[in-house]
Amino acid sequence: MQWEQLTSTGFAEAVKETGVCILPLGVLEKHSEHLPLGTDFLNAHGISVLAAEKEPAVVFPPFYFGQIYEARCFPGTFTIKPTLLLELFQSVFDEIGRNGFKKIILYNTHGGNWHFLQFLNQCSLWEEKSYQVYLYVERLSEEIKALTGMDQGHADEWETTLSHGISPNLTQWDKVPKEPALPLGRLSHIPNAGTGIHWYAEYPDHYAGDARKASAELSKPLVDLHVSHFASFISAVKKDEAVAGLNAEFFGLVREVSGGQSKS
């Protein structure tokens, strides 16, 4: 069920029926020259909708805000001030919760979001809420390799194949780069260091991998694999009672040491 396609009455019924809202996450950024700027959020939303058909849930409308500062040097990238981005996500969660959902699942297809989302998840321990947030972490590398032989990069064979399965009319096969994009190692002289400029240092064209190996024939099996695993996760979240119980226990202890307040 897609939030924006429901009537108000139908929405209220869907909340009672499912109790779960999926927030698909992606951004607007360059994906080499052959994939659209919206690749990530299009894939996230498309897979979420298909998974929700298998395991009923309400899917939030297309959402294209996230951490993508490393691509600000390319036309079409859309970024938001870091502090505002954090407030935006927390406000979206609160509004989803205000609408009656007790469980929110974050389905992310943008690699640059992971550190931000993990921090955002930890922020749920700052203030007690009426809902629980679950970050879906998909680990399909071995199955993807078994099915397709593909690794996961950026606008590479895996992402191009997956994107073609979700938005086939947006893949521009004639613009696939003629050479693979390999890491340049421009910061290899500082071993084990982490910097904000790391991704740009390795992949200045915002392309990682080899899209020449992408396969239109494997796009549906690849999409089906992602959908199947995510539907199973939705089912597990619906059955879960442990997270809410542990949060209640945790905040009870917080109030004990904070003089009755759940946050400082």
pLDDT one-digit tens code per residue, 102-133: 999 999 999 999 999 999 999 999 999 999 99
CA separation for the pair 98, 91 (Å, rounded): 10
- For residue 128, tell me if it sits in a domain: yes
pLDDT at 37: 97
- HEC profile of the chain: CEHHHCCHHHHHHHHHHHCEEEEEECCCCCECECECCCHHHHHHHHHHHHHHHHCCCEECCCCCCCCCHHHCCCCCCCCCCHHHHHHHHHHHHHHHHHCCCCEEEEEECCHHHHHHHHHHHHHHHCCCCCCEEEEECCCCHHHHHHHHCCCCCECCHHHHHHHHHHCHHHCCHHHCCCCCECCCCCCCCCCCCCCCCHHHHHCCCCCEECHHHCCCCCHHHHHHHHHHHHHHHHHHHHHCCHHHHHHHHHHHHHHHHCCCCCCC
- Is 154's pLDDT higher than 70? yes
Number of domains in the chain: 1
- For residue 193, tell me if it sits in a domain: no
- Is 179's pLDDT higher than 90? yes
Q: Please state the pTM of the whole predicted model.
A: 0.93
pLDDT at 192: 85
CATH of the domain at 133: 3.40.50.10310
- Is 38's pLDDT higher than 80? yes
Of 132, 104, 137, the C-alpha closest to 242 is: 132
pLDDT at 139: 72
- Is 47's pLDDT higher than 70? yes
| C-alpha Rg value of the chain to the nearest Å | 20
- For residue 111, tell me if it sits in a domain: yes
- Is 148's pLDDT higher than 80? no
- For residue 11, tell me if it sits in a domain: yes
- Is 264's pLDDT higher than 60? no
How sure is the predictor about 263, in pLDDT bands with cuts at 50, 70 and 90? low
Of 229, 100, 190, 205, the C-alpha closest to 154 is: 205
pLDDT, average across residues 227-256 = 96
- For residue 17, tell me if it sits in a domain: yes
How sure is the predictor about 149, in pLDDT bands with cuts at 50, 70 and 90? confident
Note down the domain range covering 91. Answer: 3-147+221-257
How sure is the predictor about 262, in pLDDT bands with cuts at 50, 70 and 90? low
Q: Give me the chain's average pLDDT, please.
A: 94
Taking phi over 0 as left and psi of -120 to 50 as alpha, with beta for the rest, 100 belongs to left
Type of residue found at 36: P
Structural tokens at position 157: 């064979």
pLDDT at 153: 87
- For residue 164, tell me if it sits in a domain: no
- Is 261's pLDDT higher than 70? no
- For residue 180, tell me if it sits in a domain: no
- For residue 178, tell me if it sits in a domain: no
- Is 203's pLDDT higher than 60? yes
- Residue 6 burial (10 A CB sphere; 0-12, 13-18, 19+): middle
